[in-house]
């Protein structure tokens, strides 16, 4: 890549080390064993994060609570996996060496047919790697081109009227992301994952 993209793009990738290290079984293992620090676990439903006590006992991640929340339709976010998984630490450092930018690697686990996050945009480019299942991504062009500083966080300029406008107009692009595919999402693109 010689320049930052302005449009979303889907890439096909060959199976490799990532698939051996990060897969449904390994994610289940991280959730069941508490390997991911409790502060890096978030549980989300309909765009809102639940209070951490809903998935912790005595300040520690409670695997039974997490499993029950997942089975009730909640999305689980495992944050900053580059701090936990050596292979992902290497990937993160490689990205930083190549681009000069820091980064983080999160995993989202959403039950089939459910949605955890709602319409929002990110202030940084995102690379979404689909590990299993199929996820439909509805995408809208940026409300604020290349959002920075004043738009550092979408909630600061959020208008509840945005969502009805987007839904009435329909997405500018829809992507059904499948295992073996990655979606490069430029900053500012509104998505309803």
Query: DSSP state, 130?
Result: -
Final residue in a domain of this structure, among 95, 114, 133: 114
CA distances from 4 to 94, 124, 145 (A): 17, 11, 13
Judge whether residue 113 has pLDDT over 70: yes
In-domain check, residue 175: yes
Please state the φ and ψ torsions of residue 98, each to the nearest 5 degrees: -75, -40
Judge whether residue 152 has pLDDT over 60: no
Residue 174, helix vs strand vs coil? strand
Q: What is the pLDDT of residue 1?
A: 62
- 164 and 123 within one domain: yes
Query: DSSP state, 120?
Result: B
Average pLDDT for 8-30: 93
Query: Which of 70-74, 130-134, 149-153 is least confident?
Result: 149-153
Q: What is the pTM of this model?
A: 0.86
Q: What is the pLDDT of residue 156?
A: 67
Final residue in a domain of this structure, among 83, 114, 145: 114
Confidence of residue 106 (pLDDT cuts 50, 70, 90): very high
Return the CATH number at 187: 2.60.120.650
In-domain check, residue 28: no
Looking at the structure of the chain, the number of domains it has is 2
Query: Which of 102-111, 136-145, 154-163 is least confident?
Result: 154-163
Residue 97, helix vs strand vs coil? helix
Q: What is the pLDDT of residue 2?
A: 72
In-domain check, residue 65: yes
Q: Copy the structure tokens of residue 14.
A: 């060959």
Burial class (CB in 10 A: 0-12, 13-18, 19+), 120: middle
In-domain check, residue 21: no
- 66 and 107 within one domain: yes
Average pLDDT along the chain:
89
Average pLDDT for 3-32: 91
In-domain check, residue 19: no
């Amino acid at each position: 890549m010689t320049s930052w993209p302005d449009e979303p793009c889907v890439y096909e990738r060959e199976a490799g080390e990532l698939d051996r290290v990060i897969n449904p079984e390994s994610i289940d293992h991280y959730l069941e064993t508490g390997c991911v620090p409790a502060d890096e676990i978030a549980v989300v439903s309909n765009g809102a994060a639940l209070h951490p006590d809903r998935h912790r006992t005595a300040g520690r991640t409670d695997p039974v609570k997490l499993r029950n929340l997942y089975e009730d339709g909640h999305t689980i976010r495992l944050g900053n996996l580059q701090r936990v998984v050596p292979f992902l630490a290497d990937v993160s450092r490689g990205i930083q060496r190549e681009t000069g930018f820091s980064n983080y690697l999160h995993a989202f686990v959403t039950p089939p047919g459910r949605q955890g996050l709602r319409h929002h945009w990110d202030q940084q480019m995102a690379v979404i790697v689909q590990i299993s299942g199929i996820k439909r991504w509805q995408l809208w062009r940026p409300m604020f081109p290349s959002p920075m500083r004043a738009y550092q966080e979408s909630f600061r300029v959020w208008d509840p009227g945005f969502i009805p406008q987007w839904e009435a107009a329909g997405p500018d692009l829809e992507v059904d992301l499948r295992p073996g595919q990655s979606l490069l999402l430029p900053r500012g693109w509104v998505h309803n994952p």
